[in-house]
Structure 1
């Protein structure tokens, strides 16, 4: 399927066809079935645009899970672009690559994301800036929330919708994944990719729950740091609910 769709996707990207947003969605719908990833939804993605989805991040599997829900594109760190196979797939997904540690380029990178938001593309920001172990949410980085501000400047929209999203790996082969079993799905950066990928695929049936919070309107007077904090609190709450953790801390 990849060999058939990839050339068509490259042409669609080259000429700016709307098909370029739908082919990756089709691919991801098939990919989750091939990988044995069973996606369960709480809530629904917002229908309004511009739309920035702000999510926690645990694994390469997050891409498949979210990408199978709706047509969207991701914001990823620049070194992903050079990864074998995964870099190509990310480019075919129309990923926007950013250098998270290049403070001098933050404005230009936010403008690139804003252009995509203004064109009607739903964009996913993994706001932790890295992957976690799946049992909690790391502090959100605020810099790229400036893309919402840039989207307001670049478009005629009165507000950008910023929607908190949580991704929780909750089960495998019909059994609940506990705190110590969750590394099956979580892929922290110090774990080798290929052995992790192989172990995940051998498992055969992994349940992931994606929760969509209420969209928050980012308006001209909104503060990006306050927005980041609000999203972090909501993502943490939804993740804890999915994992069955008590309380809201």
Structure 2
């Protein structure tokens, strides 16, 4: 009898199956909407007059506040690079649309994203105005264009982040990395910094509800996230890989291995 009672009690303590109250979810959604409007206003009215350092500071602060509003506790480990020491590329596993804000809350970067994101309400416009580089995956030959743009951006001092899996997962695995997105690192002579991302509950277990995968819509994903009572985002900046690989596939495989090793239970 005691054993039968212990299981649900332990589940409740770990947060599994437990969600926030409806009023708290509503408050998080309302505050998120207001924060999004504030971001739109800031980018439209102030970004044209901001210096680059001030833009980056604004992106970092806005992203960190968004995570707090959504109830996401951020934990970053390791030294985040910058573009002052030469061209830099971040290479990360991909779990959720939250990944962008988790990284930006620590180090504002320019992301490479699928062109479909440009059509997302508000978020698409914000992404475009804050420097996201969009790739048309359905267009043959677009890889060459985006490769040049990424290399040029890194050469100018921007840190560029890519998700070489090409899709999201529930966070329990790291898929094969496609080497094409790492080609610009070889072109620009950029150091490649693997970044491992994981969303957890308070007890350290994987929180698959934070993932934006499968057939889940953006709205469903947002609702799942605001329902989490104790969501943690863990971000590891791993040792850099020099841009001296013989081929982009070797560089992609090495980056993936470092990330997979870090995330392995």
User: In structure 2, the residue corresponding to 1:71 is in which secondary structure?
Assistant: coil
CA distance in 1, matches of 2:191, 2:226: 35
User: In structure 2, the residue corresponding to 1:26 is in which secondary structure?
Assistant: helix
Q: State the 4+ residue runs in structure 1 displaced beyond 6 angstroms.
A: none
Question: Is 1:19–2:43 an aligned residue pair?
Answer: no
- Paired residue for 1:115, among 118, 134, 152? 152
Q: Name whichever of 2-11 and 203-212 sits farther off.
A: 2-11
Aligned to 2:184: 147
Change (3 A) 1:160 1:11: same
Does the CA-based 8 Å contact 2:199-2:208 persist in structure 1?
Answer: no
Question: Is 1:194–2:219 an aligned residue pair?
Answer: yes
User: In structure 2, the residue corresponding to 1:115 is in which secondary structure?
Assistant: helix
User: In structure 1, the residue corresponding to 2:227 is in which secondary structure?
Assistant: helix
TM-score normalised by structure 1 residue count = 0.84
- Paired residue for 1:176, among 169, 186, 204? 204
Aligned to 1:36: 71
Change (3 A) 1:56 1:32: same
Instruction: Please show how residues 62-73 of structure 1 align to structure 2 within 5 Å.
Output: 62-73=99-110
CA distance in 2, matches of 1:206, 1:103: 40
Cα offset, 1:123, TM superposition? 0.9
Question: Which segments of 5 or more consecutive residues in structure 1 lack a partner in the other structure?
Answer: 152-158
Question: Is 1:225–2:249 an aligned residue pair?
Answer: yes
Aligned to 1:206: 231
Does the CA-based 8 Å contact 1:163-1:216 persist in structure 2?
Answer: yes
Question: Which segments of 5 or more consecutive residues in structure 2 lack a partner in the other structure?
Answer: 1-37
**Backbone CA RMSD of aligned residues:** 2.0
Aligned to 1:156: none
Question: Is 1:160–2:190 an aligned residue pair?
Answer: yes
Change (3 A) 1:122 1:12: farther
